[in-house]
Amino acid sequence: MDRICGLGHSLTAKQAWEEFLDNPGPIVIGAAQGASCFGAGYEFLLNIDSFLRKKGIRDRVPLTWVTSEPFVGHFGLGGVGDSKQLVQQIFAQRGITAYANHAMAEVTADSVRLDDGTELPYKYSMIIPPFKGIEAVMKSPGLGNERGFIPVTQQYRHPDYANVFAAGVNVAMAPPEKTPIPTGVPKTGYMSEHMAKTAAANIVADITRGNHVELDPSHMKALCLLDAGDGGVYMVAEPVFPPQVKHTLRPGKWVHGAKIAFERYFIWKMKNGMTQLP
């Protein structure tokens, strides 16, 4: 079993994957209670499915998804349009078994045990763990909440420390609804960029005595290219939480190519300091 939260995790996950291919068997992919980044979990799951099909060994690998989401396609957002039905359809087409609305009681070296006692043996597993903030925040009293995330105003400024700004994953965001199993809110790269631009504008306003700006997190837009290896889903939710004013869910093989193109564009943009580009 491994986690993919950083370079070290990715390298050990790669090594375990290479060993798995020599002796394939059941795979369990999941997002534990308190996790937030469900889209990455779905991508990992669907890319594995696609890869195994290309290798011609998918029939030897039972593939299972376990999640704290109340239903598949919830994404920590409450769903986007008919995302529940879409994900159910994709899983049915690909022969993926799902256990939604479950907590993980225990993860051992060869099995995942759920809160109802269900035992899921595996030869390879990737679990997205509960999210928490960094140690520096956890050890700074009053800076973050009990999970180490930083509360902010709509200026992305700490409510008690005016010189502290935060953006992205480290921001404390309350879920839009209480779920039976604790389910975190994803803070996507798209959302993080808008938070960071708001924080930066307010830092400039502090320095220049200019006008401050605000961004209501519940009014943010979510845009995602969910890669599935041989296809994917283009997803837009505006605003990010239901009820959305408008939303788009568009599956298609073109999404995989679009994801690769975007990644190359983004890396080029950052390497060349073109951060002003879209």
4, 29, 37, 235: the catalytic one is: 37
Provide the 10 A C-beta neighbour count for residue 229: 18
| Residue 37 annotated in active site | yes
28, 201, 224, 226: the catalytic one is: 224
User: Who's near 126: CB < 8 A, 6+ residues apart?
Assistant: 1, 2, 3, 4, 13, 29, 30, 41, 44
Q: Report whether 85 contacts 98 (CB < 8 A).
A: no
**The total number of residues written for the chain in this structure:** 278
| Residue 224 annotated in active site | yes
Kindly list the catalytic residues: 37, 224
